[in-house]
Structure 1
Amino acid sequence: MNPKQSVYPLQPPRERGTWRAFALALVMHVLLGLFLYHGIQWQNSTPAGAEAEIWTEIPPTPAPRQPPAPPAPPVRVQPAPPVDQEQADIALQEKKRKEQEAAQRAAQLAEQQRQKALQDQQEQAKRQEAQAREQAARLAAQKAAADKLKQQQAQAQKQREQQQAEQQKQAQLKQQQLEAQQKAEAEKKAEAEKAAEEKAAKAKALAQQQAKQKQQLEQERRARLSQLQGMAAQSQGGNGLAKSGTGSGSGGTAASPGYADKVRRRVKPNIIWAGATEGLETVVSVHCAPDGQLLSVSIKKSSGNPQWDAAAANAVNASNPMPLDINGKAPASFLITLRPAGSS
């Protein structure tokens, strides 16, 4: 027995060309990596977002399909030196198998990348569409809010204009009422002043008339008194003192029974009195000449009201001359009782 074979166990024969096959596989992997690195466009950067204003809904745009990656160029392998036919077939089959596996892996990777790119594009399109819809909805909401605000502002402006118009109308109405009231008060004041002026003028005219009548009566009385004194002097030179008639009431003892009515009818129209009438009664003493001319008028008994006493005396003075009696002469003196019209 061979001692070398007893030490080492039996082993299968070592295949020839293993290192060559390994070198070929390494070269194929390097070429495949270069192809994948330069032949496929990698999209590592995140696409920038885009903004767009869409007013109407548009159908989604299909994502563009990328063309399939070009097939890898054939790798030219330097022919190996002739070897054993069996080992060459095995190496060739192993090479084909590895090439097929590499091609499958490359195709799968390219398909995965294409699917991923397509999915990214679809997602990006969906995001853009969602952003467009969101922006359109936001713009529509902003427009609706702006329209609503504009409508509210228009309504508020209209209400303010109506309030201002109403305030102006009320102010004009108040001004008109105030002007009408002032005008009425002015007219009333003017009427009152006019009435007061007319009353004062009437009172002044009456006072002037009464003063003038009183002055005239005084002058006539003095003239008659001088005349009577002259007649009395003549009577004393002839038959002695003349007797003057005296009486009481309206006629006295020297007057006839109807003389009182004559005096009443003469004096009554000349009474001017607008005050109270209750309980007023004045007795006036009258001295007159035989022809009826008044010589003196005085208050014999007062009523207690000086104004009525003055009105009674003025009425007697305004009745000058006094009526004559049935004998053609007036009594020398008599009393007249005067009451205002309507008194009890």
Structure 2
Amino acid sequence: MAMTMANAGGPYRVPKRHGGTRAFVLALAMHCLLFAFLWVGIRWNNDPTGVDAEIWDMTTQMAAPQAEPQPEPEPEPEPPAKPPEPEAPPPEVVKPPQPDPEIALRKQKEKEKKELEEKKLAELKKKKEEEKKLAELEKKEKAEKEKAKKLAELKEKEKLAKVREAEMKRIMGTAAAGSTGTAARSTAPRLDDGYKAAIVTKIRSFLNYPGQEDVEAVYTITQLPTGEVMGVRKVKSSGVAAYDTAIENAIRNASPLPKRKDGTVEREITATFKLKEMRQ
């Protein structure tokens, strides 16, 4: 101790060796320690991390002890790999419910039937509207025709009235002249057979009588200068009332009667109407 303190601050000096027993014990301890290092080193060689060992001279170690080497820190274990996330399953395809073919066919038939009925109703409605329009048009045309007919009849009546008035004046004038003894002679042409036959032919075309008797009737016809029949007088009856009526109706329906070629007429004509001749 005194030597160590006396050398403090001076150069390092190797201490003197002591007895041999101590040295033997120290040598044995070093060999044991070396054996332990070797055994541990062999064990560590099998370990992937490994451990380095150094051999020190005991004399040097005793002279200047050094710090024991620290074992290298074990590497931190790598974090476990994150397991891959499971893939999301594909979305399930939901199939729409399939309609019953029989129901679909029945609905289609009902729809077609309904459309056909609606079409028929529309056509019927259209037809009725057209018929209504046509009826209104026909009614309007009929009213216009009736109006025109009435107007024509009115004009014809006015014309006939004027002709009758003129004829009556002529007749009255003739009668007045006859009363004084100065009868006026007719300026009309002489009655010819052709003119009379034309009158009878037209009357025959209006005769409506189904009988087959051998009869005849005589009638005197008074007419205006226009050929209009003013009167029908029975001169001789056929003895069959139906035939007499048929002849009289035929005479009136045949008005106006035919004129002569020069446009004149005979004021009075007496004609015989035999049924056999009227049938020819």
Per the normalisation by structure 2, the TM-score is 0.41
Higher helix share: 1
Per the normalisation by structure 1, the TM-score is 0.35
